[in-house]
Each structure stands twice: as structure tokens, then as C-alpha cells.
Structure 1
Amino acid sequence: MPEYGYFLASEEHDPAALVEQARMAEQAGFQALWISDHYHPWNDAQGQSAFVWSVIGALSEAVSLPIETAVTCPTVRMHPAVVAQAAATSAVMTGGRFRLGVGTGEALNEHILGAPWPPTQVRLEMLEEAIQVMRRLFTGEEVTHHGRHYTVENARLYTVPDEPVPIDVSGFGPKATALAARVADGYITMMPEEEMVTRFRKGGGGTKPVSGGTKVCYGTDRDACVRTVHELWYNELLPGEMGQVLPSPRHFEQLQELVTEDMVREKTVCGDEVDEHVWALRAFTDAGFDRVYVNQIGPDQRGFFDFYRTKVLPQLTG
């Protein structure tokens, strides 16, 4: 039986709202939390982007659910030695209920310090080296590392959990999935594609957990939900590599006209048809995922949690 979790959107909600949503998620019967790690939102309409590590500290006191970043980029904006300290502290505060989800990131968040935005292959190399550095630091031993991309001198984490923080790798293509299969403690991807799960498992991932997530917009007025998605999360439907290479929210806003409301209606679950919500999550289960996370787009968070508590989760977990 897969686990079903809630995906907290740091881009759309302020810290207090995220903590309250986590409480509602636990009360509704969700079993875990994802939280996004961004410096910028995708567009100004979303309007938020808090420092995720502060929010995780608050979540650790508010709920007992496992928490994972989905995902952190430990390569450009933050040095892996600093991410390792943040992750280790989060694991201690949650009593070992923290996983570190990592990926190669987006220019939107990572280019802010003025460093060049590397091509995909270089970013994958940087991610692999970053994982090596963080795993060494999680031991609590002193680390000195002189690598191709990172230098660490006499670094030691004094606050570490009893067990090393699990590191899951996000991948949307064959190269990233191969990296996840080779080095990760679990695999993250956002489409319910059985082929990618199989590639991960056969490439060395074996029985390690595979996690996926999706966004929906619950509401009693389907058309209003479509408009909400089109206003806030049209970026989800942009084609190609734009999500990885565009440098600022205004660049994403310039492309909103590429996404129509009809595209949203076709690609995103909107409204209050129970079967549509159940099908969207079961698609991940059928593709072999172990954990499935869902995010509610828009302000009607309480209505969403009531809907999932009474009508959706019982069909998925019963």
C-alpha cells in the first residue's frame, strides 16, 4: 500500500499558512509532507518564497509527519556543506523523520549570486559530488575535500541524527534517473511514468522508494478552478526546458499566453469529481510509486482537506 502525502507549496503560501496546512494535512489522514525549496516563486501571482529551513523547524514542532524537501539544489546557491548542516539539523529536530530531496535545480533560484548557469551534464556532475560531500559530513567526522567543483576544509557537523539523512534524487530524464539509480536512497519524479520507475529500479535503485507528486485544484466551480490554476500555476504546462533555464519570474510571466485555459482543463484535475482526484493519484500507484504527494492550488485549503479526508483518501487507503 503506497503512502499518500501533502505537498506544501512555498511559492504560493507564507510560512504561517504552510504550518497550518501541515496541521490540516495530518488531521485529514495524510501520512507525509513534501515542501518546495525556492528562492523565487515561478511568477508574482504566486507571491511567496520563504526560506525553507526555517519553515521546517516550525513544522517539526507542529506535526509528527515525515518531512522532505522537494527538492533542494545543493550545488550553486548553497554550498553542499551548508545544505548538509541544514538537513542534519532538520533530521534532529524531527526525530529522524526528515529526508533530503535533491535535484539539479533551476536558474530561477540558483543563478541569483551571479554564477554561470551550467549545462545539464555539468549540473549532474556537481550534484553527484555534492551528495558525496554531504554523506561524509552526515557521519559527524571531520571532512576535508578537494574536488572538481567543491572544496571543504576541516568541516565537521556536531549536530547530527543517529542515522545519516536519506538523500533522494529527482530526475525527469534518462541521465538524471541513472544518477538517482546509482547514488540515491530514493527516486523522485513528477509524472506517473512506469518506464522511469523501471529504469530506476533496473539501473541499481532496486527496492528503494520512488516518490511522485501532482497538483490539483479542488472546488465546487470547475471553471473557477481552471482560472485559478491558469493564474497561479500555468508554468507547470510550459514545454521543454524553460523551467530549468529561465532566470526570473517575469520571464515566466511573459510565457503565460502559451498556456490556455483549455490546456489547464485537459491536463489538471479541477473541481470536485471524486473519481478524477482518485484516478490522478492512483496513476502513480499503478506506475509503481511508493509515495504519492498532492498539492491543492489556490486559497480553498480547508475545503480541499475536508474533501480528501471524507471522500478521496478513504478510496485510496481503504
Structure 2
Amino acid sequence: MVQIGYTMMTEQAGPRELVGHVVGAERAGFDFSVISDHYFPWLSSQGHSPNAWAVLGAAAQATSRIPLMTYVTCPTTRYHPAVVAQQAATVQLLSEGRFRLGLGSGENLNEHVVGGGWPSAEVRLEKLEEAIGIIRALFEGRLLTHHGAHYDVEHARLWDLPEPVPPIGVAVSGELSCRLAGHLADLVVATEPKKELLESFERHGGAGKPRVGQLPVCYDPDRDAAIDRAHDQFRWFGLGWPVNSELPHDGAFASATRSVSRDEVAESIPCGAKTDDFVAAVRPYVDAGFTEVALVQIGGEQQAGYLDWAERELLPALREL
């Protein structure tokens, strides 16, 4: 049976609200949770972007059962991989073993803030591979000095090391990232229900490992209101990863999505309160072979109603899958 997750979207709610939302998700019966790790929202109408790691620390203390996961952190630019290792180890201790470290090669939207330009996709994957090696070495408890192609580490060690260490997931979008994930990750992460991504991941060593997907939904008893909100805050979603990873700020996303219509958004994101529509949107992930699917409820102020409805109707229907 596929597991259904809840997404703490840092782009659409403040830190205290996000913690309250994941407490509600645990109460509603979601199987796991994930959190986005951004410096900018995609669109200014979303209106937020608190620090994900601070939120995770609070969420680890406010909850007792629901697993936590970054979806995803880029350990190559805004954060140094040695710092990511320390953050992940700390959250794993705070959550008593409920944390998974989801990693990716990053988006210009978030990483540009520290300067230094935005490298090509190939270089970003090289940096990610080296970063994972550093994190793994520190997770082993080693006293690490490392001088690589992209990073230097001097005499580093994690003094508070959890047992077990957090599993590492890697986000994939094509053959190169699938190869890296298959060799280096404990699980794979994707935002599209593409069976070929999972097949490539398995060919490169990922057979039998968890496969986590994600998709946006927009619950509202008023379907028109749901479509309006999804169009206002999530119309960027259809641009695809090759575009989304390159745009530098929310103004660029607004310009790139100016011509996206409400009808186009409604065709790609389930909107309203018809359970069958939401189940139909999850089904392609199940058919592709994903073992877990994290839902993103669009709209930070609509979480309470969504969680009540999910507990009553959506989660029981999805478990039939």
C-alpha cells in the first residue's frame, strides 16, 4: 500500500503555522511529512520562506510519530555539506530517528543569494556527488579533512551523532541524476510520475529502495476558489524542472507564467472537494512504482479544513490504492 505524506510548504506559511500544520497532519493520520527548503517563494503571492531547519527542530519536538524529511535541501551552495551533515544529525536526534535527509542539486531561485553564479546542470551534479561523500564520511563519525574539486573540509567531526544516521534521498529528473541516486542514495525523490526515472534509478543500484513522489493539490469546498488559489500561487508548477531550476527570483517566475490560464492549472492540479479527482491524480504515481506520495495542499490559510477533510475522506480513499 502506498504511503501518503503531508508537505510543509515553507513558501506559503510562517514558521509557527508550519509546526501547527504538521501537528495536525500527524493527528489526521498522514504516514509521513516533508518540508521544502527555500530562501525565496516561487511567486510573491505565496508570501513566505522561513528557515526549514529551524522549523524542523520545532516540528521534531511538537510531534511524536510522523516521520520528517527535507524535500529537498541543496548541500552545495547556500549550505556547505559539512553544515548540512551537522543539521541532519541534530534533527535526527531531536526526532528520535524519524528524519530522512532529502538532497538535490538546487535551484537558482534559492542558491543565488550567496553569490558566485549558477553553474551548469552537469557541474551541479558533480558538486552534489562530492557533497554526499562528505556527508556520508561525517555520518560515519570520522575526523574529516577533505580537499576536493569543489569543497574543502578541515578537521571536521560530528560530536552528536545519531544511531541510526539519517537515510539520504536524492532528487532525480533525468538519466545523470538517476545514476547518481542509484549509486549513492538510500531512496529516490521525484516530482513527476515518470516510470522511466524509477527504472533508471533501479538499473544503477536503486532496486528495492523507497521511491518518494510529490504532487500539488488544492482542496476547497468551492472549486472555483480552489482554481483561483492554485493559479495565483502554483501556476509555475507546469514549467518543468529544466526551467524551474534556472529562474533566479519570484519576478522571473511571474513573468514566465504570465500566459498560464486557470484552465491549464485546473487540468494539471486537482482542485475542489471531489475525492475521486484527488485519487485519480495520485494513481499515476502508484502505477509508476512510487512507494510514497507527499501531497502539497496549496494555500497556507486553508490547511485546517484540508486536514479535517483528508482525515475523513481523502486518506481512507487513497489507502484503497
Question: TM-score with structure 1 length normalisation?
Answer: 0.97
Q: Which one is further off, 181-190 or 308-317?
A: 308-317
Q: Which residue of the partner structure matches residue 287 of structure 2?
A: 286
Q: Report the CA distance shift for 1:75/1:148 in structure 2 as closer, same or farther (over 3 A).
A: same
* Matched-pair contact (CA < 8 Å) for 1:238–1:259: no
Distance between the aligned counterparts of 2:241 and 2:28, measured in 1? 36
2:170 is the alignment partner of 1:184? no
Distance between the aligned counterparts of 2:297 and 2:212, measured in 1? 18
2:47 is the alignment partner of 1:47? yes
> What secondary structure sits across from 1:231 in the alignment?
helix
Give CA-to-partner distance per residue, 1:62-109, whole Å, 9 cap, x none: 112110000000001111001111011011111111110000000110
> What secondary structure sits across from 2:245 in the alignment?
helix
Distance between the aligned counterparts of 1:300 and 1:151, measured in 2? 44
Distance between the aligned counterparts of 2:266 and 2:319, measured in 1? 27
Aligned length: 318
Unaligned runs of 5+ residues in structure 2 are none
Q: Could you tell me how far 1:198 is from its partner in structure 2?
A: 1.5
> What secondary structure sits across from 1:215 in the alignment?
strand
* Matched-pair contact (CA < 8 Å) for 1:135–1:164: no
Distance between the aligned counterparts of 1:300 and 1:112, measured in 2? 30
Give CA-to-partner distance per residue, 1:150-175, whole Å, 9 cap, x none: 11010011011012221100011111
* Matched-pair contact (CA < 8 Å) for 2:70–2:101: yes
Distance between the aligned counterparts of 1:224 and 1:157, measured in 2? 48
Distance between the aligned counterparts of 1:30 and 1:52, measured in 2? 20
Matched residue type, 1:40:
F
* Matched-pair contact (CA < 8 Å) for 1:81–1:152: yes
Q: Could you tell me how far 1:241 is from its partner in structure 2?
A: 2.2
* Matched-pair contact (CA < 8 Å) for 1:200–1:206: yes
Distance between the aligned counterparts of 1:196 and 1:244, measured in 2? 18
Q: Which residue of the partner structure matches residue 206 of structure 2?
A: 205
Q: Which residue of the partner structure matches residue 2 of structure 2?
A: 2
Distance between the aligned counterparts of 1:192 and 1:251, measured in 2? 26
Would you identify which runs of 4 or more consecutive aligned residues in structure 1 move more than 4 Å?
Answer: none
Distance between the aligned counterparts of 1:282 and 1:59, measured in 2? 29
Matched residue type, 2:3:
E
Over the matched positions of the two proteins, sequence identity in percent amounts to 44
* Matched-pair contact (CA < 8 Å) for 1:238–1:258: no
Matches within 5 A, 1:222-301: 222-239=223-240, 241-298=242-299, 299-301=301-303
When the two chains are superposed, the root-mean-square deviation of aligned CA atoms in Å is: 1.1
Matches within 5 A, 1:1-318: 1-64=1-64, 65-239=66-240, 241-298=242-299, 299-318=301-320
Distance between the aligned counterparts of 1:263 and 1:91, measured in 2? 40
Give CA-to-partner distance per residue, 1:174-200, whole Å, 9 cap, x none: 111111111111100011122211221
> What secondary structure sits across from 1:47 in the alignment?
coil
Give CA-to-partner distance per residue, 1:100-158, whole Å, 9 cap, x none: 00000001100111112110000000000000000001122210111110110100110
Q: Which one is further off, 251-260 or 216-225?
A: 251-260
> What secondary structure sits across from 1:233 in the alignment?
helix
Distance between the aligned counterparts of 2:2 and 2:78, measured in 1? 34
Q: Which one is further off, 106-115 or 196-205?
A: 196-205
Distance between the aligned counterparts of 1:46 and 1:209, measured in 2? 31
Matched residue type, 1:315:
A
Matched residue type, 1:165:
P
Distance between the aligned counterparts of 1:190 and 1:246, measured in 2? 18
Question: TM-score with structure 2 length normalisation?
Answer: 0.96
Distance between the aligned counterparts of 1:151 and 1:108, measured in 2? 25
Matched residue type, 1:15:
P
Distance between the aligned counterparts of 1:240 and 1:186, measured in 2? 20
Q: Could you tell me how far 1:239 is from its partner in structure 2?
A: 4.6
> What secondary structure sits across from 2:252 in the alignment?
helix
Matched residue type, 2:306:
F
Unaligned runs of 5+ residues in structure 1 are none
Give CA-to-partner distance per residue, 1:209-239, whole Å, 9 cap, x none: 0000111000111111111011111111225
Matched residue type, 2:317:
Q
